[in-house]
Chain A
C-alpha cells in the first residue's frame, strides 16, 4: 500500500474544494492509497480496516452460499472507510477522469459518515488507531493465554450482531440533551397518555391549564402547576421515580453487554481477561452497525454527488461519454434486482424535485385532486436543503418506509418481480408481480438488514434466558448449536432460547399415486419452542 501520486492528490484536493462549495461538510485531511489486488485480498476479510485484529477465520474461506449470503449479509466494504482521517483505496491505473468520478463518490461517503446522525458514536475517535490498539491487545493476550483467546473471540463473534446499537445511539443523544425525564415530562408524556385515566380532553385541559399558569405566574408557574398535580395524584412522584429506575434495566437486548456485566463466569478472577475481548468485539461491531443500516442512503448519497459534481467539473471536459458508460453501470436500475446505488440516487433526486416544488408538506398531502397534485408547484427552492436534511437524519428503513410512493414507482417504472415455476418449459419464470408502491416498499424493506431481537433475562436457577421476539421469521436452525454453545461458555451455566418455529401443516394427501405431483398448498402454524444448551448438548422442547 502506498499513497497516491502528488498529481492525483492535487486532483482530489480540487474535488474537495468543489464539493465544499456545493455544501458538503467534511474534515480537511484524507488519506488515499493505491492498492493492488493482493492488498485487496488481505483487506477484504478485515472489512478494509488495515489494522483490524487478526483472527483465524479471516484466513479461511468463509462458507457463504449464495442464498445464505442474503440471510446474513456481512458488512459491506467500501472504497472508503469511516476513520479519522478517512482512508480510501484506488487502483493504480485509473485515468484522471475516472479518479475524479471516484473521488466525488468517496467525498459523498465521507460527508455522509461525518454528518449522518446514525454515525454519531463514531465521530469522536479514529477507528484505525483503536483497532490497532485492540490488535496489539489480542496479540499480547495470545502470548499469555494461547488458543483460548481465539475461542473467546469466536464465541463473542457469534453474538456480535446482537449489540444494542440503538441503545448506544439513544444514550449518546441523552448525553447531548443532558437530562433525564423530568417530572413534568413524565406527567404529560407518560402519565396522562398511558396512565389509568388517559383521555384526549383531559390531556388538552391540562396543557391549557399549564400554559395559563405559566402566563399568570411567569416566575413560578411550573412549580405551582406541579404542586397542584402532585396534590391531585399522590402516586405520581413514586411512579416517576420507579420509571427512572426501570429505564436502566429494561431494553436488555444487548447480549454481549449483558454477559460482560452479569456473567458469573467472566467475573471470576481467572477469566477477567475475557472481558477485554468481549469489549473489543462489541465496540467493533457497534462501529460497523450504521454502515449496514444506511447502505441505500449512503450509496445513493455518494452517487447523487458524483453525478451532480462530475458533470459540473470543468477539468474533465471531453470525457462525458466515458463517464456515462461507467455511471450507467453504477446507477442504472437493473431489470431484475435491487441496486442500492441506483435506488438511493433516484429516490434522493426524486425527493429533491418534490421539495423544490414544495410537495413535502401537509398542504400537498391534503390535495386529493389528481390534476392539482400534478400541477402543484410552490417553487420553494428548498430541494437541496431537503436532501441535506435527509442525509443528516435518516437511515435506510426510515428512508424507504417514508418515501417510496406511487409517483416514484411510476416515474421509474419500478415493479416487484415474482418467480414461478413453469413445469412445461422446465424453467423459472420471472414476471411482473406488482407495480403497487406498497408492494415495492414492502419488498425493499424486507431485503434490508434486520438482526433478530433477543431479550435477555436470568432465571431463578441462574440459567440465562434468551427470548427471541417473534417477527414472522424463524431463526436459522443450523446455527443455533454453535451460537448457544458459545453463550453457554461465556455465561458459565445453562442457556435457554425461546423462539418460534414454523410447523408445516400438510393438507390430506390423495391416496391416488398419480396425483402426487400436485402437492396440496401448505399452511404454516407457528409453535413456540425452547432450546436448551446444557453441558454442551442442545435439546428442544415445545413450550406451548
Chain B
C-alpha cells in the first residue's frame, strides 16, 4: 500500500488532470479499504433462491437422477446443429445456437467446465425490477420463504459473496476445470471459425519449417532389429502355427509343441519421426486492478477464452499460451484457471505488463521460432496518463508480434468517456501506421456474447 502511495505521489508531482486524479484515488481507496485484496471486487448479484417450480416428483422422491430436464441431451450431432444454424442465417433469421460454457457437476465436487452449444427459447416474460448493482440487496425483492426459529431482524445464515467454485455459468469456474476446458477448446475454435465466420489465418509469406525429426523405436521389422517385441512375436508364432494346423480352435494349446520360425521374431528398430513443434505463442495479458471488478473482467476473460479457442483450431492445437496479469506490477501465472479467477485491488500500470512480455520473449528467444500473439484486456484506466512508458514498450512488442490485440472493456465508473489507454493509443498514431499489427476494440460494459465475437473478428482479421 505504501508503495502505491509513493507511486501516486511521484505521478502527482508530474502533474495530473482532475479525472485522472479521481481514477487513481478510487483505485487507491479500493486497495486500502479492503484488507484482503482477493475480496476487493464488485459484489455479484444476490444469490437466487430455489424456485417453487424446481421441486419435482422424480427428484424429490429420489427416483432417477437429479433433474433430467436440465441435463444435456445432445442427440443430434454438433455439426448437424451448426448446419441448421447456418441455414437459419441464409433464411434471414438470426442464429440461435450460442456457445455456452457450462459447469458439469463432477462426482466429488470436482466440477468441470464444458463448452457446449446451447440455445434459449425466447418468450415474453416478466423481468425483475433491476436492483442496484452495488446496493445492499434490499429493495423490491420480495424475499424468500423460511421456517423455524428466529426473531424478526435476526440473521439466520450467510453466504460468501465470492462465487463458490462451480456455480453458475460464465467466467470463472471450478478447480480442475482446465483440463476439460482444454479438450473442448478445439471444438469451440472450429465452431467459432465456421459459425461466426472468423477469418482463417493468412500465410505470412515466408514459411518457416516447423517440423523437426526425432528418432524413436517405433518401426517393426521381421527377423532382426534392436529390441524384440514379445507381444507381436507371440502373435506371429500363433499365426504360423494356425497356418500349419498345429493350433486348433477349441482345444488346449500345448505351448511346448509350437514351431517357431526365424521370421516370426519381430523387432523394433530405430526410425525417423516427424515431431511437430508448437507454432504459435499467445500471450494473454489482463488487467486485474481494482476498477476491473465484475463485468469488465468477465468480458475480457470471455473474449480471451474464445480467442484461445480460435487459435487452437487454427494451429491444430499447436499453440502455447502464456498468461500475464498486471496491476501496477505484472506477474505470470501458470494456467488459465488462475488467469481467469485471480483478482486484486491495486492500481493500474499497463507498461509493466508490456515490459514483462518483452522480457519473456527476449529471454526465451521466442521471436525466432514462433508466431507471437499478444492479447491485452483492460478497462482502459492507466495511471500512466500519456502512455509515456507504455508506448515505447508497445512499439518494441510490435517488432516481433504477429498481432497485438487490445480490448478495452469499459467499467462505466466514470460514465462514458474515452479512457486513457484509448486516448494515448490513438494519439500515438500506431493504430494507423501499424494497422496490420495492432488492433483496438472498445466494448461497453453491457456487451453481449455477439458483441464479444464481433470484437474478436476485429482483433484478429
Q: Contact residues of A with B, CB < 8 Å?
A: 35, 37, 40-45, 47, 56-67, 69-74, 76-80, 89-91, 94, 98, 101-102, 105, 147, 151, 154, 157-162, 292, 295-296, 299, 326, 329-330, 333-341, 343, 412-422, 425-435, 439-440, 442-444, 446-452, 454, 468, 471-483, 485, 502, 504, 513-514, 516-517, 519, 521-522, 524, 536
- In the complex, are the beta carbons of B74 and A60 less than 8 A apart? yes
Q: Bound complex: CA of A524 vs CA of B22, how far in Å?
A: 28
Partner of B126, one of A77, A80, A473: A473
Q: Bound complex: CA of A473 vs CA of B130, how far in Å?
A: 10
Partner of A476, one of B127, B147, B162: B127
The residue of chain B having its C-beta at the shortest distance from the C-beta of A79 within the complex is B57
- List 20 additional A-B contacts (Cβ < 8 Å) besides A60-B74, A296-B52, A439-B143: A43-B68, A45-B69, A66-B48, A73-B51, A77-B57, A79-B58, A94-B63, A161-B125, A333-B148, A337-B146, A419-B143, A421-B161, A426-B160, A428-B47, A452-B126, A476-B124, A476-B126, A502-B130, A516-B413, A536-B93
Q: Bound complex: CA of A456 vs CA of B392, how far in Å?
A: 63
- In the complex, are the beta carbons of B65 and A336 less than 8 A apart? no
- In the complex, are the beta carbons of A336 and B144 less than 8 A apart? yes
* Stretch among B96-104, B205-213, B218-226, B294-302 lining the A interface: B96-104
- In the complex, are the beta carbons of B125 and A476 less than 8 A apart? yes
- In the complex, are the beta carbons of B146 and A61 less than 8 A apart? no
- Asked whether any CB of chain A lies closer than 8 Å to the CB of B333, the reply is no
- In the complex, are the beta carbons of B120 and A63 less than 8 A apart? yes
Q: Bound complex: CA of A502 vs CA of B26, how far in Å?
A: 29
Partner of A414, one of B73, B87, B145, B162: B145
- Asked whether any CB of chain A lies closer than 8 Å to the CB of B447, the reply is no
Q: Bound complex: CA of A346 vs CA of B145, how far in Å?
A: 14
- Asked whether any CB of chain A lies closer than 8 Å to the CB of B84, the reply is yes
- In the complex, are the beta carbons of A513 and B29 less than 8 A apart? yes
Set of chain A residues within 8 Å of B262, measured between Cβ atoms: none
Set of chain B residues within 8 Å of A59, measured between Cβ atoms: 73-76
* Stretch among B134-142, B174-182, B377-385 lining the A interface: B134-142
- In the complex, are the beta carbons of B70 and A64 less than 8 A apart? yes
Set of chain A residues within 8 Å of B155, measured between Cβ atoms: 429-431
Shortest distance between the CB of B453 and any CB in chain A (Å) = 16
Partner of A63, one of B55, B63, B92, B119: B119
Task: Decide yes or no: A417 and B129 within 8 Å by CB, A61-B100, A62-B121, A447-B52 being known contacts.
Answer: no
- In the complex, are the beta carbons of A444 and B63 less than 8 A apart? no
Set of chain B residues within 8 Å of A450, measured between Cβ atoms: 126
Set of chain B residues within 8 Å of A517, measured between Cβ atoms: 33, 134
Q: Bound complex: CA of A513 vs CA of B137, how far in Å?
A: 23
- In the complex, are the beta carbons of A417 and B58 less than 8 A apart? no
Partner of A60, one of B67, B69, B97, B169: B97
Task: Decide yes or no: A475 and B73 within 8 Å by CB, A292-B53, A413-B149, A449-B53 being known contacts.
Answer: no
7 contacts between A and B (CB under 8 A): A101-B61, A105-B61, A338-B50, A340-B55, A417-B144, A516-B413, A519-B134
The residue of chain B having its C-beta at the shortest distance from the C-beta of A342 within the complex is B147
**B residues 148-187 with Cβ under 8 Å of A?**
148-162, 167-169
- In the complex, are the beta carbons of A158 and B123 less than 8 A apart? yes
- In the complex, are the beta carbons of B124 and A454 less than 8 A apart? yes
- In the complex, are the beta carbons of A428 and B123 less than 8 A apart? no
Partner of A417, one of B69, B94, B146, B162: B146
Q: Bound complex: CA of A337 vs CA of B55, how far in Å?
A: 11
Set of chain A residues within 8 Å of B142, measured between Cβ atoms: 416, 442-443, 446-447
Set of chain B residues within 8 Å of A522, measured between Cβ atoms: 132, 135
Q: Bound complex: CA of A42 vs CA of B162, how far in Å?
A: 36
* Stretch among B6-14, B38-46, B403-411, B437-445 lining the A interface: B38-46
Count of B interface residues, CB-CB < 8 Å: 97
Set of chain A residues within 8 Å of B87, measured between Cβ atoms: 147
Shortest distance between the CB of A253 and any CB in chain B (Å) = 12
Partner of A428, one of B25, B58, B74, B158: B158
- In the complex, are the beta carbons of A430 and B157 less than 8 A apart? yes
- In the complex, are the beta carbons of B161 and A417 less than 8 A apart? no
- In the complex, are the beta carbons of B118 and A61 less than 8 A apart? yes
Q: Bound complex: CA of A196 vs CA of B81, how far in Å?
A: 62
The residue of chain A having its C-beta at the shortest distance from the C-beta of B49 within the complex is A337
Set of chain B residues within 8 Å of A61, measured between Cβ atoms: 71-74, 100, 102, 116-119
Q: Bound complex: CA of A421 vs CA of B159, how far in Å?
A: 10
The residue of chain A having its C-beta at the shortest distance from the C-beta of B46 within the complex is A419
Set of chain A residues within 8 Å of B204, measured between Cβ atoms: none
Residue from B29, B92, B94, B152 whose CB has the most chain A CB atoms within 10 Å: B152
The residue of chain A having its C-beta at the shortest distance from the C-beta of B48 within the complex is A67
- In the complex, are the beta carbons of A147 and B84 less than 8 A apart? yes
Partner of B121, one of A57, A296, A416, A422: A57
Task: Decide yes or no: A91 and B48 within 8 Å by CB, A338-B145, A502-B130 being known contacts.
Answer: no
Q: Bound complex: CA of A64 vs CA of B53, how far in Å?
A: 13
Shortest distance between the CB of B264 and any CB in chain A (Å) = 47
What secondary structure prevails in chain A residues at the interface with B? mixed
Set of chain B residues within 8 Å of A475, measured between Cβ atoms: 124-127
The residue of chain B having its C-beta at the shortest distance from the C-beta of A409 within the complex is B147
Partner of B124, one of A78, A98, A147, A451: A451
Set of chain A residues within 8 Å of B98, measured between Cβ atoms: 63
Set of chain B residues within 8 Å of A334, measured between Cβ atoms: 145-147
Shortest distance between the CB of B29 and any CB in chain A (Å) = 6
Shortest distance between the CB of B56 and any CB in chain A (Å) = 5
Set of chain B residues within 8 Å of A451, measured between Cβ atoms: 124-126
Q: Bound complex: CA of A158 vs CA of B124, how far in Å?
A: 7
- Asked whether any CB of chain A lies closer than 8 Å to the CB of B108, the reply is no
Set of chain A residues within 8 Å of B93, measured between Cβ atoms: 151, 485, 536
- In the complex, are the beta carbons of B73 and A73 less than 8 A apart? no
- Asked whether any CB of chain A lies closer than 8 Å to the CB of B60, the reply is yes
- In the complex, are the beta carbons of B39 and A479 less than 8 A apart? no
Q: Bound complex: CA of A299 vs CA of B60, how far in Å?
A: 11
Q: Bound complex: CA of A59 vs CA of B119, how far in Å?
A: 10
Task: Decide yes or no: A151 and B137 within 8 Å by CB, A417-B156, A430-B158 being known contacts.
Answer: no
Set of chain B residues within 8 Å of A336, measured between Cβ atoms: 49, 144-146, 156-157
Partner of A161, one of B92, B116, B124: B124
Q: Bound complex: CA of A426 vs CA of B163, how far in Å?
A: 11
Residue from B57, B65, B91, B150 whose CB has the most chain A CB atoms within 10 Å: B57
Q: Bound complex: CA of A69 vs CA of B49, how far in Å?
A: 10
- Asked whether any CB of chain A lies closer than 8 Å to the CB of B79, the reply is no
- In the complex, are the beta carbons of A326 and B62 less than 8 A apart? yes
The residue of chain B having its C-beta at the shortest distance from the C-beta of A299 within the complex is B55
- In the complex, are the beta carbons of B22 and A513 less than 8 A apart? yes
Partner of B147, one of A76, A98, A415, A482: A415
Task: Decide yes or no: A89 and B53 within 8 Å by CB, A413-B147, A476-B125 being known contacts.
Answer: no
Partner of A516, one of B26, B147, B148: B26
The residue of chain A having its C-beta at the shortest distance from the C-beta of B162 within the complex is A426
Set of chain B residues within 8 Å of A329, measured between Cβ atoms: 60, 62
Shortest distance between the CB of A15 and any CB in chain B (Å) = 15
Partner of A91, one of B64, B74, B97: B64
- In the complex, are the beta carbons of B118 and A62 less than 8 A apart? yes
The residue of chain A having its C-beta at the shortest distance from the C-beta of B147 within the complex is A333
Partner of A335, one of B119, B135, B146: B146
- In the complex, are the beta carbons of B123 and A159 less than 8 A apart? yes
The residue of chain B having its C-beta at the shortest distance from the C-beta of A432 within the complex is B150
Set of chain A residues within 8 Å of B153, measured between Cβ atoms: 431-432
- Asked whether any CB of chain A lies closer than 8 Å to the CB of B417, the reply is no
- Asked whether any CB of chain A lies closer than 8 Å to the CB of B203, the reply is no
Q: Bound complex: CA of A129 vs CA of B303, how far in Å?
A: 49
Q: Bound complex: CA of A47 vs CA of B57, how far in Å?
A: 12
Set of chain A residues within 8 Å of B65, measured between Cβ atoms: 37, 40
- Asked whether any CB of chain A lies closer than 8 Å to the CB of B128, the reply is yes
- Asked whether any CB of chain A lies closer than 8 Å to the CB of B364, the reply is no
- Asked whether any CB of chain A lies closer than 8 Å to the CB of B54, the reply is yes
Partner of B129, one of A67, A296, A524: A524
